[in-house]
């Protein structure tokens, strides 16, 4: 029997509402709870990502480790090219360092790396 259940990922960022909107649109999830420094994003199946406001937030510098990633998400897509255009339209930036061919690395609006992975 599990000791715990239903984990959520908490992402530090400078603007929780803005980053929740970015990932909410990317994943088609909904904001369930919102406070000035905390936003909860929920999927249909109970999965959740939380966004926590951090004063003096410093974005990660990937692939270097002076300011480590802090976290990253891998999301599966059917069409890398179409998904790339969609996330750039949401405010993501394609990273100059692309170490693979079956996935692409982007930075979310707060600077966290995330990957679009070919299904």
Q: Where do the domains of the chain lie?
A: 1-57, 62-119
Q: Which CATH architecture has domain 1-57?
A: 2-Layer Sandwich (3.30)
pLDDT at res. 68: 80
Q: Which CATH architecture has domain 62-119?
A: Roll (3.10)
Do domains 1-57 and 62-119 share one topology? The answer is: no
Mean pLDDT over 19-23 rounds to: 97
pLDDT at res. 3: 67
pLDDT at res. 31: 95
Give the predicted TM-score (pTM) of the model.
0.82
pLDDT at res. 27: 96
Report the SS3 class of residue 19.
Answer: helix
Q: Is the pLDDT of residue 1 over 90?
A: no
Place of tokens 């079956």: 102
Q: Is the pLDDT of residue 8 over 70?
A: yes
pLDDT at res. 108: 94
pLDDT at res. 86: 95
pLDDT tens column, 42-96: 999 889 999 999 999 999 888 888 888 777 788 989 999 999 999 999 999 999 9
Other Cβ atoms within 10 Å of 83 Cβ, number? 19
Mean pLDDT over 2-25 rounds to: 88
Please give the sequence-ordered ranges of beta strands (E in DSSP) within the chain, or none if there are none.
8-13, 30-35, 38-42, 48-53, 73-77, 93-94, 103-107, 113-118
């Amino acid at each position: 029997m599990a000791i715990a259940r239903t984990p959520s990922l908490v992402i530090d960022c400078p603007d929780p509402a803005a980053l929740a909107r970015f990932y909410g649109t990317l994943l088609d999830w909904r904001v369930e709870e919102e406070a000035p420094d905390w936003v909860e994003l929920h999927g249909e199946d109970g999965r959740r990502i939380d966004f926590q406001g951090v004063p003096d937030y410093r974005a990660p510098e990937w692939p270097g480790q002076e300011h480590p990633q802090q976290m990253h998400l891998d999301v599966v897509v059917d069409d890398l090219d179409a998904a790339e255009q969609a996330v750039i339209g949401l405010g993501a930036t394609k990273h100059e360092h692309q170490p693979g061919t079956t996935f692409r690395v982007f930075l979310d609006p707060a600077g966290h790396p995330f990957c679009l992975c070919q299904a």
